[in-house]
A = this chain, B = another copy of it.
Amino acid sequence: MNLALEISNVVGIIAFAIAGSIKAVNKQMDLLGALVMGFSSSLAGGIVADLLLGMSPPSNLTYLPYPALAFSSSVAGFVFKKKISKISRPLLYADAIGLGAFAASGSSLAFSIRPEPLLVIMVGTITAVGGGVVRDILANEVPMIMEREFYASAALIGSTAYFLLRVLLGLGDPTASTVTFALTLTLRVSAIHLGWKLPRPKG
């Protein structure tokens, strides 16, 4: 994995874990609830992706830096909830960086196991948004990705781009990953700024 992607992954884990932990605080959960929500938000997408690809035990449970980061970020979210809530705008961008990085890592991993189009697109997207879905199910809510804005769609388009760049243009993993990351991030940030929404049923 190239360095930019690695750094983005780290930014994403911090942002995802803090968001999960703050949602736990808002739901009046206790410290364990905040840890579970922080862990799920940042690591569950990758764990589900590993299971779908037949990689067990999942690397998020054996390679320690990411879980350690998720743990400390969740504790920070629990303790400093009020202070952190004041920087919600920066957090939104950090989350977008994580979305892009996770879509790129997930697509890349799936492609290396089996270069099938649907598998790459689904695993890329699930790596990026699966943690948020698990978090929302644990919080007993309809997953945010199914109701709000242009979020999972950015990861879906990014993961599709990864597959096309590898297969149609014959690009290598570093280039395709970087483009996936940049494209997902750009789409998501544009969606935030321009208020993009998907069509929705009328009355």
Contacts and interface: CB of A to CB of B under 8 A. Distances in A.
A171 to B, nearest CB: 23
Given A53-B57, A61-B122, 12 more contacts: A30-B146, A30-B197, A31-B200, A32-B145, A32-B156, A33-B146, A47-B52, A53-B56, A61-B116, A81-B201, A133-B138, A137-B137
A54 to B, nearest CB: 3
A118 interface: yes
A61 B57 contact: no
A57 B119 contact: yes
Interface string A135-168: 0011111110111000011001000000000000
- This chain: how many copies in the complex? 3
Nearest to A201: B25
A140 B138 contact: no
A133 to B, nearest CB: 8
23 contacts: A28-B201, A30-B200, A33-B145, A33-B146, A36-B152, A51-B52, A51-B56, A52-B56, A52-B61, A53-B56, A54-B54, A54-B57, A57-B114, A57-B116, A57-B119, A61-B123, A62-B114, A62-B119, A78-B201, A133-B138, A138-B142, A140-B141, A140-B142
Given A61-B116, A153-B32, A200-B31, A139 B142 contact: yes
A108 to B, nearest CB: 15
Given A32-B198, A53-B57, A198-B31, A62 B118 contact: yes
A189 to B, nearest CB: 18
A37 interface: yes
Contacts of A61: 52, 116, 118-119, 122-123
A7 interface: no
Contacts of A118: 61-62, 64, 67
